[in-house]
Amino acid sequence: MKKVSFFALLLICCLLLIVGCSSNQQQDTPKAGGYEVQDSQGYVIKLPHKPSRIVSLSLGTDEILVDLVPLERILALTYLADDPEISNISEQAKLVSKKVKANPEAIIALRPDVLFIADWQPIELIQTIRDAGVPVYVYKTPSTIEDVKYVIREIAHVVGEEQMGQQMVAQMDKQLGTIQKSLEKVRNEERKTVVLFSLMGGIGGQGSLFDDICRYAGVVNGASKVGIGKYEMMTKEQIIAANPDVFIMPTWNYNGKTKVEDFKAGVRDDPAFQSLGAIQKEQLYTIPDRHLSSSSQYIVQGVVDVAKAAYPQYNP
């Protein structure tokens, strides 16, 4: 099985970084006397009050926080937050003046009340920031939509907005329920097989968020079908073996070098793929990467997009 190349790993790291309403939201009662929270690694941080200088170091938490707290409580978001190709909050993010990368000195200089950081970031980075006295909350990177809901609730607890967090999760459940109901008439033998492409090739195998998106969208994930893992790329032979009915094409030109339209044309015209139903029936769909790579409440839109691509007659 073909393992991820260096450049594929670079893409995955970019996507992991990705991997996440208005400012007049209802807030919970302020927490008197401060409170303690424990992150995914068991580290306890003490907060004297609801944080008002919040820094986020992943696009997933960017997206959650922008819908969770008033923007004036957000001190900084990631540098990807205002990129409309990959961010679902690009317009709101423009109202947050500071953007950050994984630079400990720059983050420490901001003096945040709390920093949200993913568990895949280097422990050295996390510890350096902690040693400087910054309260750091490490969250577990979601692998399923249920994980996304859990992260929303956890972040809501940290920032003292539990009620809003519950409302966000309830809205996700309502949307997912509507999708599931619209797909009730799809029989097992009618389920479409889909293959997701990045600019590096077929991705989204077993244990990935895309794998769970497929489950909710009522489709068969071609990468999982042929045994591809979460961090592996599909070979052409594996794509052919998956026999996909639908190709989902990328939209984010993450490296600035490959034109997405040229990539799509290359897949469409590849002689190796001409026998596949996705090519013969011209079922190549472009779905925004910001929906499919989201590790926030916006992941529901990815489910909607995949379901519509596979079953347009059911219009979820």
| pLDDT per position as a tens digit, 195-222 | 999 998 999 999 999 999 999 999 999 9
Asked if 137 and 205 sit in the same domain, the reply is no
* 265 in any annotated domain: yes
Greatest CA separation for the chain? 67
pLDDT confidence tier of residue 259, bands split at 50, 70 and 90 = confident
Q: Are 149 and 126 a contacting pair, CB within 8 Å?
A: no
pLDDT tens, 261-303? 999 999 999 999 999 999 999 999 999 999 999 999 999 999 9
Q: Are 27 and 51 a contacting pair, CB within 8 Å?
A: no
Residue 45 bridge partners (DSSP): 37
Asked if 205 and 243 sit in the same domain, the reply is yes
CA-CA distance, 105 to 132, in Å (whole number)?
9
CA-CA distance, 315 to 89, in Å (whole number)?
25
Greater pLDDT, 170 or 314: 170
Mark which of 156, 176, 196 sits at the end of a domain.
Answer: 176
CA-CA distance, 100 to 198, in Å (whole number)?
25
Which runs of E-coded beta strand occur in the chain? 35-38, 44-47, 54-56, 74-78, 98-100, 114-118, 136-139, 193-198, 201-203, 220-221, 246-249, 284-286
Angstrom CA distances, 45 to 38, 111, 197, stand at 6, 15, 40
Asked if 103 and 162 sit in the same domain, the reply is yes
CA-CA distance, 205 to 179, in Å (whole number)?
22
Asked if 195 and 294 sit in the same domain, the reply is yes
3-state secondary structure of 70: coil
pTM of the model: 0.88
* 7 in any annotated domain: no
HSE-CB at 62 with a 13 A cutoff on CA atoms is 32
CA-CA distance, 94 to 90, in Å (whole number)?
7
* Res 77: pLDDT: 98
Helical (H) or strand (E) element with 131: helix 123-131
CA-CA distance, 82 to 86, in Å (whole number)?
9
Across the range 170-185, mean pLDDT stands at 95
Asked if 147 and 207 sit in the same domain, the reply is no
* 299 in any annotated domain: yes
Mark which of 146, 176, 206 sits at the end of a domain.
Answer: 176
Number of folded domains that form the chain: 2
Which structure tokens are listed for 92?
A: 């709101």
What is the chain's Cα-based Rg?
20
pLDDT tens, 46-63? 999 999 999 999 999 999
Name the residue among 293, 312, 304 with its Cα closest to residue 196: 293
* 65 in any annotated domain: yes
Asked if 293 and 167 sit in the same domain, the reply is no
Asked if 74 and 104 sit in the same domain, the reply is yes
Asked if 172 and 210 sit in the same domain, the reply is no
Asked if 118 and 218 sit in the same domain, the reply is no
3-state secondary structure of 302: helix
Asked if 58 and 192 sit in the same domain, the reply is no
pLDDT tens, 234-255? 999 999 999 999 999 999 887 6
* 191 in any annotated domain: yes
CA-CA distance, 160 to 38, in Å (whole number)?
14
CATH assignment of the domain containing 139: 3.40.50.1980
* DSSP-based helix, strand, coil % in the chain, nearest 5: 45, 15, 40
Contacts of 314 (CB under 8 A, 6+ apart): 182, 183, 185, 186, 307
Q: Which domain holds residue 254?
A: 185-310
Which structure tokens are listed for 118?
A: 């993913």
Asked if 33 and 141 sit in the same domain, the reply is yes
Mark which of 118, 146, 176 sits at the end of a domain.
Answer: 176
* 72 in any annotated domain: yes
* 14 in any annotated domain: no
* 303 in any annotated domain: yes
Asked if 169 and 76 sit in the same domain, the reply is yes
> Assign residue 111 a region: left if phi > 0, alpha if psi is -120 to 50, beta otherwise?
left
Name the residue among 35, 46, 32, 73 with its Cα closest to residue 136: 46
